[in-house]
Amino acid sequence: MSTAEPILLTPGPLTTSARTRQAMMVDWGSWDDRFNQLTASVCEQLLAIINGAESHHCVPLQGSGTFAVEAAIGTLVPRDGKVLVLINGAYGKRLAKICEVLGRSFSTFETAEDEPTTAADVDRLLHADSSITHIALIHCETSTGILNPLPDIAQVVAQHGKRLIIDAMSSFAGLPIDAQQVPFDALIAASGKCLEGVPGMGFVFARKESLANAAGNSHSLAMDLYDQHAYMAKTGQWRFTPPTHVVAALHEALLQYNEEGGLPARHQRYANNCQVLLDDMARLGLRSFLPAAIQAPIIVTFHAPKDPRYQFKEFYERVKAKGFILYPGKLTQVETFRVGCIGHVNQAEMHAAVAAVGEVLREMEVLEI
């Protein structure tokens, strides 16, 4: 990577490898057999990451991760269904908004932004409302980096005979999820997160039986996952113009994912990045928002310095000039900023990023050291 290209320490889009970017230099015909094979290979490799080939279909969809979340809700929740949305951040609130816009009945359960939803909460809520058919959970809530206890919640949902929809946008391929151990109707992710591809394609792992029974549910032609899957299964092609360059980049990113050692290696690199970030920031006197026990190694939220000379926009621009792009905070009550641990970066680059933060805060006379 040349010095002219800043390193993205964000939750996506994120820094990609030269090989991944190079893969986008080829133009593909959307009906060409070679491209169809590329799509099939991507879906097969994605299913392998969650051990889901026997139980789930991988349905790719053009667009951002939010497109895929909306498609999953619209396709897999019947029009007379009811969704319990578990919220402890901005993306849970967005999921509730999707239910509202789609006209799906829903209720919400909201905890503080530093408080995970518990399995006991879900058990109590399901006992109290038998009309709930689906539960929607954000696995890693990107607005803070909090990790919700997916396996425990999934078991409670299954015990009640309900269906679980998981937004795993920031956790898929970086944190372990086994479809044979964690029961779910749908798990949703995207190309531009822990897989280190480029943004532009979402995908939904849909339980085969649930997808087979979803005909006619969707509010939308373009976002009908039932129709998307049926057409791809029949023809090998996408229904509408596919994001060919994004698919090619993702295929290349998956090759590198497996070369690196798959999920264990990717998780370990991110965990190492996160630890360096926390340790080095602490030495600067910057405190993380979340306790370590619920901090996912994906993105870390830090309390902003209380000094009146600190202004995020100036801080951001100065750090960017030193080669690193950070992310604004997304909390309403506390001023924060966020630093991503994911992407094609390692511990050396995390050390360098925090050193740049320290230099900037000294230049702004926020730090005296």
Per-residue pLDDT of the chain (369 residues; tens, 9 = 90+): 444 689 999 988 999 999 999 999 999 999 999 999 999 999 999 999 999 999 999 999 999 999 999 999 999 999 999 999 999 999 999 999 999 999 999 999 999 999 999 999 999 999 999 999 999 999 999 999 999 999 999 999 999 999 999 999 999 999 999 999 999 999 999 999 999 999 999 999 999 999 999 999 999 999 999 999 999 999 999 999 999 999 999 999 999 999 999 999 999 999 999 999 999 999 999 999 999 999 999 999 999 999 999 999 999 999 999 999 999 988 767 899 999 999 999 999 999 999 999 999 999 999 765
Q: Would residue 337 count as lying in a domain?
A: yes
What SS3 class is residue 186? strand
Statement to judge: residues 143 and 40 lie in one domain: yes
| Helical ranges in the chain per DSSP H | 18-22, 33-49, 65-76, 90-102, 119-128, 150-159, 208-212, 225-235, 244-260, 262-284, 312-321, 347-363
End residue of a domain, out of 215, 233, 258: 258
> Cα–Cα distances in Å, from 243 out to 30, 41, 63, 66, 240?
9, 15, 8, 16, 10
> Cα–Cα distances in Å, from 88 out to 5, 66, 85, 110, 264?
34, 17, 10, 6, 27
Statement to judge: residues 57 and 168 lie in one domain: yes
Statement to judge: residues 248 and 270 lie in one domain: no
Confirm if 204 and 169 have CB atoms less than 8 A apart: no
What SS3 class is residue 57? strand
Rounded Cα gap, residues 369 and 366, in angstroms: 9
Q: What type of residue is 95?
A: L
Statement to judge: residues 175 and 293 lie in one domain: no
Statement to judge: residues 214 and 150 lie in one domain: yes
- Pairing mode of beta strands 201-207, 56-62: antiparallel
Statement to judge: residues 208 and 272 lie in one domain: no
* Tens-place pLDDT, residues 273-287: 999 999 999 999 999
* Tens-place pLDDT, residues 71-81: 999 999 999 99
- Please report, for the domain that includes residue 318, its CATH number: 3.90.1150.10
Q: Would residue 369 count as lying in a domain?
A: no
Other beta carbons within 10 angstroms of residue 306's beta carbon come to 8
Structural domain harbouring 235: 18-258
Statement to judge: residues 234 and 281 lie in one domain: no
Confirm if 340 and 100 have CB atoms less than 8 A apart: no
Query: pTM for this structure?
Result: 0.96
Tracing tokens 């919640």 back to the chain, one arrives at: 153
Task: Say how many domains are in the chain.
Answer: 2
Statement to judge: residues 293 and 180 lie in one domain: no
Tokens of 213: 């029974």
Tokens of 116: 């995970």
- Dihedral sign (CA 207, 209, 212, 215): negative
End residue of a domain, out of 258, 292, 317: 258
- Please report, for the domain that includes residue 46, its CATH number: 3.40.640.10
What SS3 class is residue 7? strand
